[in-house]
């Protein structure tokens, strides 16, 4: 499987979470000044944190897959909303220039903790151990 456009379940499989995480489409209601409901392209959370209809707490990881129409929003306002909502980890995957940027919430602020492009190996242990090459996501 490959990440093409906004693939959800295939991205989880590629990221090595198969068998450890549920793969379902869900929303994450975030009640703030804008009364926002956030729906990242990939969301990773503990099974126990889901309610019968959504995820009432911040996920462990939100992943956005960039597209021409959402690029600016995903990189700036959406990242700020995830940060304010307490999402522990935020990744952005760019399928056009195969790359990943990773941020981790530290003291309430996102700090860039990883990046890789092309055939460079992206490795992390947070929020789960995984390694992959961005080029493999779209090959």
d(CA 15, CA 85): 24
Q: How confident is the model at residue 57 (pLDDT cuts 50, 70, 90)?
A: confident
User: Most confidently modeled of 34-38, 47-51, 70-74, 110-114?
Assistant: 110-114
Number of domains forming the structure of the chain: 1
124 is a domain residue: yes
d(CA 39, CA 27): 5
Question: Hey, how many other C-beta atoms are within 10 angstroms of the C-beta on 114?
Answer: 15
pLDDT tens track for 68-113: 888 887 788 889 999 999 999 999 999 889 999 999 999 999 999 9
2 is a domain residue: no
Q: CATH number for the domain including 42? A: 3.90.1570.10
Q: Residue 105's domain spans which residues?
A: 9-138
pLDDT of residue 2 exceeding 80? no
| 42 CB-near residues (< 8 Å, 6+ apart) | 8, 11, 12, 15, 61, 62, 63, 65
pLDDT of residue 60 exceeding 80? yes
63 is a domain residue: yes
| Mean of pLDDT over the chain | 79
pLDDT of residue 53 exceeding 70? yes
| H helix or E strand, kind and range, residue 77 | helix 77-85
113 is a domain residue: yes
Q: How confident is the model at residue 10 (pLDDT cuts 50, 70, 90)?
A: very low
What does the pLDDT average to over 112-129?
95
3 is a domain residue: no
């Amino acid at each position: 499987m490959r990440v093409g456009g906004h693939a959800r379940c295939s991205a989880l499989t590629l990221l090595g979470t198969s068998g450890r995480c549920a793969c379902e489409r869900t929303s994450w209601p975030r009640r703030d000044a804008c009364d926002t409901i956030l729906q990242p392209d990939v969301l990773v959370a503990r099974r126990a944190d889901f309610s019968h209809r959504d995820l009432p707490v911040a996920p462990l990881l939100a992943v956005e897959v960039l597209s021409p129409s959402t690029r600016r929003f995903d990189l700036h306002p959406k990242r700020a909303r995830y940060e304010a909502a307490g999402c522990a980890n935020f990744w952005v995957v760019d399928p056009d220039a195969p790359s990943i940027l990773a941020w981790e919430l530290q003291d309430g602020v996102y700090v860039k903790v990883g990046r890789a492009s092309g055939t460079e190996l992206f490795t992390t242990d947070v929020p789960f151990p995984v390694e992959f090459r961005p080029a493999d996501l779209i090959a």
